[in-house]
Amino acid sequence: MNSAGKPVKLINAAVIVASLGYFVDIYDLLLFGIIRIKSLTSLGVTGDDVDRIGMYLINIQMVGMLIGGIIWGVLGDKRGRLSVLFGSILLYSVANIANGMIGGEHAIAWYMIWRFVAGLGLAGELGAGITLVSEILPKEKRGLGTMIVASVGISGAVVAYFVSEYFGDNWRICYYIGGSLGLALLILRVSVVESGMYNSIKQSGNVSRGNYFKFFTSKERFFRYLKCIMIGLPTWFVVGILMTFSNKFAKEMGVEGAIDPGKAIMICYAALTFGDFASGFISQMMRSRKKVLYIFYTLTLISVILYFNAYGISATAFYTICGLMGFSVGFWAIFVTVAAEQFGTNLRATAATTVPNYARGLLPVISLLFTGLQTAGVSYLHSGFITGIVCIALAFVFAFSMQETFGKDLDYVEET
């Protein structure tokens, strides 16, 4: 029921806007990984610098998301879910249009600046959208609502790939399209209403909202928060390391034919879309979030083992493994839903916005482990495999110790 006592449909304005917003979010977020080589090459970067600068640009974007997650999350609880939803869309849309305009002597420096700004903007949409959908839908339907948001959103990566293929070396148009799609979404602002739960605590006036430091004033709340972040580790290991640098991993293993990282990312995310549908549906059937995480972590482990044993296989077989891996990390819908369900209304947007961005923002840490192992003398392939095992093992441990939240009543606040 909504604030007027009327039943809320599963497919409503909030779900539609949150889904489309996340679609553009993912399009823009993964676009650099897809056009990394062609964009950097056209800007004069050559040889090993393509990978080196590419990794730096990915990391600086993730740092932007890390910082942006805190800013947007706090604003989501202080100013409202809608202001963050559309404010973040505006910022990352402008930033991506600016990405398409870079050039000249300091092009790489400007690329870094605008990827950082894009990261700031990309940090807010998902958390605000998931929080809004979770609070508007009844508890029996919210898992399905967030499943729709995540699944529609993830498909943005597939569209980004085909757009990049269509325009070939004209990578700037890909950025312009992403920015334009985001700006077009702002037209839908008038059709979405604020969460009734949020309005209730806002009108009460005596509840502290968006106090980020509250995550650290209670040991129990801090570990609840930490667990939410760590259960997302495998997704960004797969996307940020295995897919983004799939061409180099394939070359190390003697895969027949050249591997295109952009195509690997597209296949991974196409399969991830189906994984999100599957994980959301299974969660509803099993009436559990945690059991689904266990299932998908196991699938991730199996697919990682297959990936690192792909010696001498065909490019088609390698891409198939990328698809299996994408499906296996399709628990993103569950991951973001759990983050929203773990905290009270006065901290929910802060949690739901910062958690996925901290998970994404851990990519530089994952990268440090990956490169650090190589510096210590471990081979490129073995470094990747060890890093993956560490990420999956940590996710298992933290998921096992966290609270089950399926069917939890969200109409409460964090008091202390």
Could you report the per-residue pLDDT of 179-228, keeping only the tens digit for each? 999 998 888 776 788 888 888 888 877 788 888 999 999 999 999 999 99
For the record, the structure tokens of 241 come out as 């390391």
For the segment 71-82, the average pLDDT, to the nearest whole number, is 91
Distance of CA 122 to the CA centre of its chain: 9
Which CATH code of 1.20.200.10, 1.20.1250.20, 2.30.38.10, 3.90.1150.10 fits the domain covering 13-187+211-400? Answer: 1.20.1250.20
Please give the torsion angle defined by the CA atoms of residues 209, 182, 143 and 33, in that order, rounded to the nearest 10 degrees. Answer: -110
How many C-beta atoms surround the C-beta of residue 188 within 10 A? Answer: 15
Average pLDDT in the chain: 89
Per-residue pLDDT reduced to its tens digit, 269-294: 889 989 988 998 899 899 999 999 99
For the segment 294-322, the average pLDDT, to the nearest whole number, is 96
For the segment 110-114, the average pLDDT, to the nearest whole number, is 93
Q: Is the pLDDT of residue 160 over 70?
A: yes
Per-residue pLDDT reduced to its tens digit, 85-111: 889 999 999 999 999 999 888 899 999
For the segment 123-129, the average pLDDT, to the nearest whole number, is 88
Identify which of 28-32, 68-72, 210-214, 296-300 has the greatest average pLDDT: 296-300
**pLDDT band, residue 147 (cuts 50/70/90):** confident
For the record, the structure tokens of 250 come out as 């394939």
pLDDT of residue 1: 47
For the segment 243-254, the average pLDDT, to the nearest whole number, is 94
How large a percentage of the chain has pLDDT more than 70? 97
Report how far apart, in Å, the C-alpha atoms of 312 and of each of 121, 265, 318 are: 41, 21, 10
Report how far apart, in Å, the C-alpha atoms of 311 and of each of 256, 314, 332 are: 9, 9, 29
pLDDT of residue 221: 94
* Cα 155 to Cα 244: distance, rounded to the nearest angstrom: 17
pLDDT of residue 93: 93
User: If DSSP codes are grouped into helix, strand and coil, which group holds residue 314?
Assistant: strand
* Cα 40 to Cα 394: distance, rounded to the nearest angstrom: 34
End-to-end CA distance of the chain: 29
Per-residue pLDDT reduced to its tens digit, 364-405: 889 999 999 999 999 999 999 999 999 999 999 999 999 999
Place of tokens 């399709």: 330
pLDDT of residue 31: 87
pLDDT of residue 336: 85
For the record, the structure tokens of 32 come out as 């650099």
